[in-house]
Chain A
Amino acid sequence: MTDILQILILGLALGGVIALMGSGLSLVFGVMRIVNLAHPSLIICGAYVSYWAFKLWGLDPIATLPIAALIMAAIGVLLYRLMFESQAKSARYSEMTVLLTFALAMIVEGFLGAAFTNTQRVTSPDYATDAFFIGSLFIPKGQFYAGVVSLAIIGALTLFLNYSRLGYAIRATTQNREAAELLGVNVNLISMVAFAIGIGLAGAAGSLVSFVFSFFPAKQWEWIAMLMSVVVLGGMGSVLGTVVASLLLSVVAAFVGTWVGATWSTMTFFLALFVILLIRPQGLFGEKPELA
């Protein structure tokens, strides 16, 4: 029984972090209908911000999270203007943008590799190696804090999307771009804002990831598959779905990791992606694809 509770807690904490990693990807897909393959590489950028801030000045990665988020959001604005604004009128927008984000992912990896080498890094504040003990339960502080901060950020994002004017406009654009435009929403501006928020969320996730996982530039390839599976299971574009799917898959992966074997733990995500696409492509909260 304690065993199960123990695995559950570890799975949920990691699931929270993965939910934050995926939420930006999901938001961007919802509004812009593009799969941003560069999302994990941008998470890694955020991770380096917090890593170096800790290494050089001893700043706590949770404290530098807002800075990483802001830097990445600003980069998001630049990327949007550079990559998507010019493509908006292209008839092959979807193909072009997928290829562009793929190219971006490799460019970012190249730059990060050149600047920081391919050494595995991990930010090491005291709590990263500490734990709470409740009876026979053991809760690593780093994962616990990261999970809690992630869920708090997602909570704030949800409030923002549901109750602010800008949030209304983002949701409206996600659900029906044409209707939103006809009601006076500047959908291009909203796309840019949503993209910037999505990349800002990548930066925020990066700060947390930096002390939960070890990372290096090429780590993105492992993460893109993992994030795709939570975003697809949740229903492309549904932030709530992404959260539920992240928690669900992480818990399953934690059980698989303990009972079947550690190598099978990540396989849970990849298998899930494959199976979901075959049997329920709209995911948990997504809409049924329309028959064209």
Chain B
Amino acid sequence: MSELLQVTNITAGYGDGPAILDGARLTVEPGKVHCIIGPNGAGKSTLLKAICGMLTIRKGDVVFKGERLNGLRPDQILRKGICFVPQERALFPKMTVRENLRMGGYVLDDTKLRDRRIDEILERFPVLRERADQHAGTMSGGQQQTLAMARTLIVKPDIVMLDEPSLGLAPKVVQEMFDIMKMMSKEGVTVLLVEQNAMMGLKNSDWGVVLDLGRTLFEGPAEAVLADPRIQELYLGGRKVA
């Protein structure tokens, strides 16, 4: 088996509410960039929340490195090596950049190691270094997203899940975000992202997963998904592919 994470036909929803996901599946292979696409309300965010332990999985399995994750809490799943960056509000706006990074290493007991990794990250991301003592909430959207992504690196996770990292950013900045993701995957961090802009997302990924109405329609190599006629169909009726 070469997959790092395998989600098989899961059913999940919010609280006692109806099942939002029903028949969602995906395969994550180490070191690649994976992109979940699908129309608004398809359940993309819900799928990431189910994987990271924020929602109860009612049916199906989430298997990571051969181990079932069903029923674990978010902090337990983080310690296993899966880090989730939620849509938009991922930061602590009234904490400085450095304090946000420190929170990123909250689960690390070794504070020296944590501080060393924070220094490494500040070294690698000059935008963050220059603003280390500035409140996160005062930075631009792109800078905030950079911080949210960089912050995941402190725990050296196996998988980073990003929910719409491009949301509300200018096209040029969006490309910077994808460049950071590629850099992360080159360093061995597997990326699983949700992207509203299917064309953009797939072009920057290795693997595509198409979700609609809470279930996975199909998944495959990104170019194949991009070329698939079913995509055009799914996005017909006012929804743009690009």
Contact = CB atoms under 8 A, between A and B. Distances in A.
B75 A91 contact: no
A180 to B, nearest CB: 7
Contact of A168 (B15, B93, B99): B99
Contact of A176 (B93, B99, B102): B93
Nearest to B85: A182
Interface stretch (B103-111, B220-228, B233-241): B103-111
Contact of A175 (B86, B92, B104): B92
Interface in B82-112: 83-86, 89-95, 99, 102-104, 106-107
Interface size class of A (residues with CB under 8 A): 10 to 19
B74 interface: yes
Nearest to A290: B89
Q: Looking at chain A's contact residues, is the secondary structure mostly helix, strand, loop, or mixed?
A: helix
B52 interface: yes
Interface in A109-138: none
Q: Range of interface residues on chain B?
A: 20 to 34
A182 B52 contact: yes
Interface in A157-211: 165, 168-169, 171-172, 175-176, 178-186
A92 interface: no
A179 B75 contact: no
Interface in B126-166: none
Contacts of A185: 75, 103, 106
Given A178-B86, A179-B91, A184 B99 contact: no
B79 A184 contact: yes
B78 interface: yes
A107 to B, nearest CB: 30
B52 A171 contact: no
A168 B89 contact: no
B104 A172 contact: no
B84 A172 contact: no
Contacts of A89: 15
B15 A175 contact: no
B100 to A, nearest CB: 9
Given A171-B95, A172-B95, A178 B103 contact: no
A185 B74 CA distance: 9
Given A171-B95, A172-B103, A182 B89 contact: no
A91 B103 contact: no
Contact of A182 (B15, B74, B95): B74
B90 A179 contact: yes
Interface of B: 15, 52, 54, 74-75, 78-79, 83-86, 89-95, 99, 102-104, 106-107
22 contacts: A91-B15, A168-B102, A176-B90, A176-B91, A176-B92, A176-B93, A178-B86, A179-B89, A179-B90, A179-B92, A180-B103, A181-B54, A182-B74, A182-B78, A182-B83, A182-B85, A182-B86, A183-B78, A183-B107, A184-B74, A184-B78, A184-B107
Given A178-B86, A179-B91, A184-B106, 17 more contacts: A168-B99, A168-B102, A168-B103, A171-B95, A172-B95, A176-B90, A176-B91, A176-B92, A176-B93, A179-B86, A182-B52, A182-B54, A182-B86, A183-B104, A183-B106, A184-B75, A287-B93
